[in-house]
A and B are shown apart, each in its own frame.
Chain A
């Protein structure tokens, strides 16, 4: 036994006081930690990913500076007018010819693209809307959407090469995106990990974040990762 009964009583008393410091338990599950860990497996040799992250970080910092030319360039790209890349513009949910769905993220939202499409892409954009909906959109006819509980299934065709866009409010607590059987994106609070983004040029961009602690700059990395696919 570690301590005497009176000591235990005192420990309980102090324990009760310490509860005043507690915050709600975060929505972290064993499966999502395993998915995160699994996404890193094999990422060790991908030193180039670290270089991409570094470049993305610098680009993000440049973007953050008011009046920066990077900021206006990013706006142009997000608006669907990429000047230096050949990928088609991203669909916007409010554009004609675009079909999509708006879903309350709740405590947890799993978005499942049923088919993996080598020449398709999903651009993930964070938005500052508080308590907003997650928007998933693609070209009309490219997919149908089905919401069941916390799971949104995107029935996309394996033969097409559409470009989807997923807009996520920054305060959405937990959003996972799967492409077929693979977890490709995980957002838990402000911690974000992208595992594999399949780009419209047919190449795969892999970014495994090695340092989940540095959450405060993660969305910059993710934004850059999404842009890298454009």
Chain B
């Protein structure tokens, strides 16, 4: 039987690089998008689509991790715009169209739900760019990758991250007794 690589006419080396990059990078790209959007299904779709686009590009960019984040963020912006349009168009039939079930959520304990809500509240209050930086850094992206992905100067990443951590901590502590 033909392999997937054979079916799509890829060179073995690009296939190997792609698979290695996917295995190494997809989990953290997914986690970043999941935390950013709060929508695991959307995060999976965005992450997957970013990799599909990387494949269609036919070669690896200089900084593939930053490239993938950048593409995923563009897709997210498009998706938000499309979703707003779709919600307007489909409002009369929305109930009937909700046919694609989201993955059933696990039975979360009240404590876990509270913890999640508290972190989410704090994160949502951090300005968007700082929030993205905080989440990327949590996935151990380097300053350079963060700068490339978000279109910033590398030299300013440290300062902006410091501000992001400060803002998150303030909002998080504001919601309870402390860290």
State in angstroms the CA–CA spacing of A211 and B10 once bound together. Answer: 22
What size tier do the contact residues of chain A reach? 35 or more
Q: Are A30 and B1 in contact (CB under 8 A)?
A: no
> Is B56 a contact partner of A37 (Cβ separation < 8 A)?
yes
Tell me if A102 counts as interface (CB < 8 A to partner B).
no
Binary interface encoding of chain A residues 8-25 relative to chain B, with 1 for a CB under 8 A from any of its CBs, else 0 = 001101110110111111
Q: B48 an interface residue at 8 Å Cβ cutoff?
A: yes
A34→B18 contact, CB < 8 A: yes
Interface status of A220 (Cβ within 8 A of chain B): yes
Instruction: Give Cα A66 to B93, complex, Å.
Output: 9
CA distance A17 to B123 in the complex (A): 11
Please, which residues of chain A bring their CB within 8 A of the CB of B43? Answer: 23
A60 neighbours in B (Cβ, 8 Å): 97
- Please judge, given known A-B contacts A22-B34, A25-B27, A213-B75, whether A34 and B102 are in contact too, CB under 8 Å: no
Q: How many A-B residue pairs have CB under 8 A?
A: 172
Q: For the complex, is A161 an interface residue (Cβ under 8 Å from B)?
A: no
Question: B49, A18: Cβ atoms under 8 Å?
Answer: no
**B13 interfacial by beta-carbon distance below 8 Å:** no
For A188, what are the chain B residues with a Cβ–Cβ distance below 8 Å?
A: 44, 48
| CA distance in complex: A20, B123 (Å) | 12
Distance A189 CA – B34 CA, assembled complex (angstroms): 15
Residue of A whose beta carbon sits closest to that of B103: A189
Cβ-based interface call for B82 (8 A): yes
User: Are B165 and A11 interface neighbours, CB within 8 A?
Assistant: yes
* Chain A residues closer than 8 Å to B31, beta-carbon distance: 22
Across the two chains, which residue of chain A brings its CB closest to B5? A34
Q: Residues of B within 8 Å of A, CB-based: how many?
A: 74
Say whether B26 contacts A28, CB under 8 Å. yes
**Bound-state Cα–Cα, A40 to B35, Å:** 29
Q: Give chain A nearest CB distance to B70 CB in angstroms.
A: 16
Which of chain A's residues has its CB closest to B36's CB?
Answer: A21
CA distance A30 to B19 in the complex (A): 6
Our pick among A11, A181, A189 for the contact of B41 (Cβ within 8 Å) is A189
Q: Does B12 contact A (CB under 8 A)?
A: no
From known contacts A10-B165, A22-B31, infer whether A219 and B99 are also in contact, taking CB-CB under 8 Å. Answer: yes
A38 within 8 A of B: yes
- Select one of A20, A41, A171 contacting B56, CB under 8 A: A41
The answer to whether the Cβ of A170 comes within 8 Å of any Cβ in the partner chain is yes
Q: B125 interface residue, CB < 8 Å from A?
A: no
In chain B between 1 and 40, which residues have their CB closer than 8 angstroms to a CB of chain A? 1-2, 4-5, 7-10, 15, 18-19, 22-23, 26-27, 30-31, 34-35, 38, 40
Interface string of A87-119 (1 = CB under 8 A from B): 000000000000000000000000000000000
**6 nearest interchain CB pairs?**
A38-B8, A190-B100, A23-B40, A64-B96, A30-B22, A37-B55
Interface residues of A (CB under 8 A from B): 2-3, 7, 10-11, 13-15, 17-18, 20-26, 28, 30-31, 33-38, 40-41, 60-61, 64-66, 126, 128, 170-171, 173, 181-183, 188-191, 211-220
